Amino acid sequence: MSSRIIPVQPFDYVVFGATGDLTRRKLIPALYHRFKDAQFDEQSRIIGVSRTKLTDAEFQKAARDSIEQFVEPEYRDAATIDRFIGCFSYVANDVTNEANWGDLSKKLRDDPKIIRAFYLAIAPDLFGPTCEYIQKKKYYRRDARVVIEKPLGHDLASSMAINDAVSKIFKEDQVYRIDHYLGKETVQNLLALRFANILFEPIWNSAHIDHVQITVAESVGAGTRGYYDESGALRDMVQNHIIQLLCLVAMEPPASDDANALRDEKLKVLRSLKPVTGADVARATVRGQYRAGSVDGAAVASYQDELPAEKKGSHTETFVALKAEIENWRWSGVPFYIRTGKRLPSRASEIVIQFRHIPHSIFDHAEGAPRANTLVIRIQPDEGVKLFLMIKDPGPGGMRLREVPLNLSFAEAFAERTPEAYERLLLDVVRGQQTLFMRRDELEAAWTWIDPIRDAWNASPDAPQQYMSGTWGPTAAIALIERDGRTWHEDGN
């Protein structure tokens, strides 16, 4: 694998929120893998910043623990870990209080060849003050990057406020808004599948595609994250990850892989989404909340039981299904059915492109009716692509038709480990490559589409429909698609 690795320029990565969960679970392990593959070396620095008073050595110990806990044993190598840990240092700092701002100037290098990036793994209401201090303390450079991550607001207005605060200091070409789904290998493969092959693009339209399904299912529950109850599945998963997937499926071919060429096309999709408002919300959306049940053979509690006393009775949805429509020439009349939820039977995310039936069959009934072709892009786990085709059932006894998948399993085809999304994204920041990050107008267009759905739900006295943990959501989600004479894809092959 290392032969294909192109090292990046040395960097100073300042991570605000360095003792938090995201840093521990995702950022440190991701950087470790990139270091291990020699994509960067000891010339680079990772500077942790957080309120907790820690010495460099204590922070290095915390980084070591995170590797022990979140990097698979076969990739842990004592000598590499020691070298990697040497890149870490720490500054105690309270971003809410100017008097307690630590001194980063000794850690940051002035050399313009050293890339400077600030990762704000902190609450969004601290983005503005942090950016201002960065400037005030003269840590800002015109070529510095700032990385921010959701929740980027809870509606259009709050999202604009966050973007305004950041953009007072950093220009749009310096802002990297992470949606980690865009860093997933299979999501990038969608671009390769569509635009590096001649096969699909001529039939990628309403003349040949009946509908599209996007499912992002999780078997885990909402856990005890206070944030989730404020957010719910629509804002937590649909507004960002799923809408991004929808854009990649639906966009026109960009002229190049230039960040703005691609993001311009995604934006056009977002602006073509048919608004779901007023009475349409009840027809086109379903929201659910899990009851107790059993997942993977283990009994699990209901969402309500997991909530602290003061939140009992919450109407927050842990499941959403909806029908989206894109009002443009290519997709007119092709619904996009979306569903996502917690405590579903398994962790399974996929995009299903359901093609239309052949216009005329030359086979009679005894031979079996040809089924419409289906393309399934499996995002996780078991990443791969399956194209369901009709073939002749092998053997004598006449012509009988059978559906079989052409199956490209990435695990079988490539021996290499699949990198985590953050590995790609963290280093794209260093490279100055914004293609896989959301532009401000995209984010705001997504909120513009989401807000009326949320508003209609808030205005309704109804609670989300209950579904038993370990099932595919409320029955209304099945009715949503079956009303249109279609069914959710179930992969029996």
Instruction: Categorise residue 196: left if φ over 0, alpha if ψ from -120 to 50, beta otherwise.
Output: alpha
Helices (H), 86-155: 127-136
Identify which of residues 217 and 326 has a Cβ nearer to ligand BG6 in the complex: 217
CB of 386 to ligand BG6, least distance (A): 20
Angle at 209 between CA 347 and CA 213, to 5 degrees: 20
CB of 71 to ligand BG6, least distance (A): 17
Identify which of residues 218 and 442 has a Cβ nearer to ligand BG6 in the complex: 218
Question: Encoding tokens for residue 66?
Answer: 């995170």
Q: Is 241 a catalytic residue?
A: yes
How far apart, in whole angstroms, are the C-alpha atoms of residue 181 and residue 425? 10
Say which residues have a Cβ less than 8 Å from residue 390's Cβ, sequence separation at least 6: 370, 371, 373, 401, 402, 403
Identify which of residues 85 and 425 has a Cβ nearer to ligand BG6 in the complex: 425
Identify which of residues 21 and 143 has a Cβ nearer to ligand BG6 in the complex: 21
The one catalytic residue among 154, 211, 241, 489:
241
Rg of the Cα atoms in the chain: 24
CB of 486 to ligand BG6, least distance (A): 25
Identify which of residues 154 and 211 has a Cβ nearer to ligand BG6 in the complex: 154
Identify which of residues 218 and 428 has a Cβ nearer to ligand BG6 in the complex: 218
Q: Are 349 and 217 in contact (CB under 8 A)?
A: yes
CB of 20 to ligand BG6, least distance (A): 14
How far apart, in whole angstroms, are the C-alpha atoms of residue 395 and residue 377? 30
Q: Which residue's beta carbon is nearest to the bound ligand BG6?
A: 236
How far apart, in whole angstroms, are the C-alpha atoms of residue 119 and residue 430? 11
| Contacting ligand BG6 within 359-398 (CB under 6 A) | none
Instruction: Categorise residue 147: left if φ over 0, alpha if ψ from -120 to 50, beta otherwise.
Output: beta
- DSSP structural state of residue 242: I
| Residues in the chain, overall count | 493
CB of 236 to ligand BG6, least distance (A): 5
How far apart, in whole angstroms, are the C-alpha atoms of residue 346 and residue 411? 19
Helices (H), 238-357: 243-250, 259-272, 279-284, 303-306
Adjacency order of strands within the sheet including 45-50: 88-92, 45-50, 11-16, 115-120, 145-149, 175-178
Identify which of residues 21 and 42 has a Cβ nearer to ligand BG6 in the complex: 21
Q: How many residues bind ligand BG6 (CB under 6 A)?
A: 2
| Contacting ligand BG6 within 128-187 (CB under 6 A) | none
- DSSP structural state of residue 438: B
Neighbours of 216 (CB within 10 A): 24
CB of 240 to ligand BG6, least distance (A): 7
Adjacency order of strands within the sheet including 319-324: 401-409, 384-392, 374-380, 348-355, 209-217, 336-341, 319-324, 285-291, 465-468
Q: Is the peptide bond before 151 cis (omega within 30 degrees of 0)?
A: yes
Q: 102 to each of 87, 99, 106, how far by Cα in Å?
A: 19, 9, 10
CB of 16 to ligand BG6, least distance (A): 19
Question: Encoding tokens for residue 267?
Answer: 């934006």
In the list 236, 317, 383, 442, the residue contacting ligand BG6 (rule: CB under 6 A) is: 236
In the list 218, 317, 350, 423, the residue contacting ligand BG6 (rule: CB under 6 A) is: 218
CB of 379 to ligand BG6, least distance (A): 8
- DSSP structural state of residue 42: T
CB of 207 to ligand BG6, least distance (A): 33
Q: Are 407 and 389 in contact (CB under 8 A)?
A: no
Identify which of residues 153 and 254 has a Cβ nearer to ligand BG6 in the complex: 153
Identify which of residues 54 and 242 has a Cβ nearer to ligand BG6 in the complex: 242
How far apart, in whole angstroms, are the C-alpha atoms of residue 279 and residue 456? 8
Residues 410-439 vs ligand BG6: string with x where CB under 6 A?
------------------------------
Say which residues have a Cβ less than 8 Å from residue 492's Cβ, sequence separation at least 6: none
- DSSP structural state of residue 23: I
| Contacting ligand BG6 within 264-293 (CB under 6 A) | none
350 binds ligand BG6 (CB under 6 A): no
Site residues for ligand BG6 per CB under 6 A: 218, 236
Q: Which positions are annotated as active-site residues?
A: 241
